[in-house]
């Protein structure tokens, strides 16, 4: 029980009857009010993490900017929290631009990414005054020079492949040679020279990002020198990628340790007067949220399969890059009847496994099952496989809960089908 509580938002507790309580809200009451599955965010944990990052970065490199990697949780309410806490937003595509604007962000504090940005997306960015567009290759420059009107200007960064292979799943590795993002240094240098000749695009600096769910600080430091070798610029966006704690065994670096390493490399290689931007995503939001499910089926045999009313429709991380999660019976966390089980989803795929082997207290149909650390990349990759409706998002704080994204309706599920 104590181990599971450590994976849940700070302040999580167990009531006298063994029921999980997070941010002062009981799991059974959340399930009764909002149904299951439901993604619950502890708002105070979200705000505390944003403040920690902002304070720690400013203490190490005063001329710095913190932007939240929206793709980790592109929910307007989450983006609004980040804006209220003084952060900018990193967006990847037109939809995230729109939710960022809805969240009240200053467009000048927005950074647009993407390896294949469309004309519509770049037009939207230019029209709304997005501060920085990260140029991923020459085609971005071609499109921007057509979109930016005569006499206008768009500030850009050039994304560089540093040749750093982080020890992560191949699907979340982005800084290695052969990555689909950015340009190798020689090609980046050519594009930088071209941008310097443009009368509509201004070269502000460089961008680098080595991957996601990185549990070692070394790759972050290794990525700085290849960027610095391209010259002195006003801005260096050093990306994000710090890992989050998903399992009992995970020991990710603290924010302070991560920044000590990254800023240490920046001091060694970058101009002291430059602005440093970082883009944390997963490590900002993963542990601030959890998902509640209802157990629908239990099969005991060679394995004990505990099936819940969600799965890969609301959490693709397991199937996409084998992310490990933990779980517990939320209405009986203090129990002692441990049973090794495989938690599976309701979808018609053998790969729909949420947790492949976890101790649960005598799981039974009707129990509530909690999976911690679902704040990153679950909401954003939610899907309608097998005609499943996307699940709601609830903010919990000081004993109160409020709906910020409602459950998809059956009518919405078929609204685009004109056949």
Q: Which of 25, 75, 348, 378 is catalytic?
A: 348
Q: What are phi and psi of 246, to 5 degrees?
A: -105, -35
Question: 10 Å Cβ neighbour count for 350?
Answer: 7
Long-range CB pairs of 363-367 (<8 Å, 24+ gap) are 363/295, 363/298, 363/304, 363/306, 363/329, 363/339, 364/295, 364/298, 365/295, 365/296, 365/297, 365/298, 366/294, 366/295, 367/294, 367/295, 367/329, 367/330, 367/331, 367/332
| Residue 348 appears among annotated catalytic residues | yes
Give the span between the Cα atoms of 279 and 56, in whole angstroms: 14
Q: Within a 13 Å sphere around the CA of 44, how many CA atoms are in the beta-carbon half?
A: 15
Residue 386 · residue 347 · CB < 8 Å: yes
Give the span between the Cα atoms of 382 and 401, in whole angstroms: 22
Question: 10 Å Cβ neighbour count for 25?
Answer: 21
Q: Which residues pair with 401 in a beta bridge?
A: 396
Give the span between the Cα atoms of 240 and 111, in whole angstroms: 13
* Residues catalogued as catalytic: 348
């Amino acid at each position: 029980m104590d181990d599971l509580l450590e994976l849940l938002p700070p302040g999580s507790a167990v009531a006298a009857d063994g029921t999980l309580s997070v941010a002062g809200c009981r799991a059974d009451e959340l399930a009764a009010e909002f149904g299951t599955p439901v993604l619950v965010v502890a708002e105070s944990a979200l705000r505390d993490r944003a403040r920690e990052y902002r304070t720690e970065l400013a203490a190490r490199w005063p001329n710095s900017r913190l932007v939240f990697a929206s793709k980790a949780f592109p929910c307007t309410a989450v983006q609004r929290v980040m804006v209220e806490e003084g952060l900018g937003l990193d967006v990847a595509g037109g939809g995230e631009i729109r939710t960022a604007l809805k969240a009240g962000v200053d467009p000048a504090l927005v950074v647009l990414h993407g390896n294949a940005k469309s004309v519509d997306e770049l037009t939207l960015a230019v029209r709304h005054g997005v501060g920085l567009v990260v140029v991923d290759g020459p085609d971005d420059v071609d499109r921007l020079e057509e979109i930016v009107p005569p006499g206008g200007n768009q500030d850009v960064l050039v994304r560089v492949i540093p040749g750093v292979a982080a020890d992560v799943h191949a699907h979340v590795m982005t800084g290695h040679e052969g990555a689909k993002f950015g340009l190798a240094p020689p090609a980046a240098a050519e594009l930088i020279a071209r941008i310097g000749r443009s009368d509509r695009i201004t070269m502000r600096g460089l961008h680098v990002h080595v991957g996601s769910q990185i549990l070692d600080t070394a790759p972050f430091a290794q990525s700085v020198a290849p960027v610095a070798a391209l010259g002195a610029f006003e801005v260096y966006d050093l990306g994000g990628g710090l890992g989050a704690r998903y399992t009992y065994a995970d020991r990710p670096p603290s924010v302070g340790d991560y920044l000590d390493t990254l800023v240490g490399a920046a001091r060694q290689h970058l101009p002291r007067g430059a602005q440093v931007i970082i883009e944390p995503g997963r490590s900002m939001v993963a542990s601030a949220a959890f998902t509640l499910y209802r157990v629908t089926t239990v099969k005991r045999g060679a394995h004990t399969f505990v099936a819940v009313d969600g799965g890969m429709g609301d959490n693709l991380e397991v199937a996409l890059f084998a992310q490990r999660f933990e779980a517990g019976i939320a209405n009986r966390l203090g129990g002692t009847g441990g049973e090794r089980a495989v938690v599976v989803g309701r979808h018609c795929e053998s790969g729909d496994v949420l947790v492949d082997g976890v101790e649960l207290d005598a799981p039974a149909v009707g129990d509530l099952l909690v999976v911690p650390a679902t704040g990153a990349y679950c909401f954003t990759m939610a899907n309608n496989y097998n005609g499943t409706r996307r699940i709601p998002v609830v903010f919990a704080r000081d004993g109160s809960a409020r709906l910020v994204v409602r459950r998809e309706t059956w009518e919405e599920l078929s609204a685009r089908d004109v056949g």
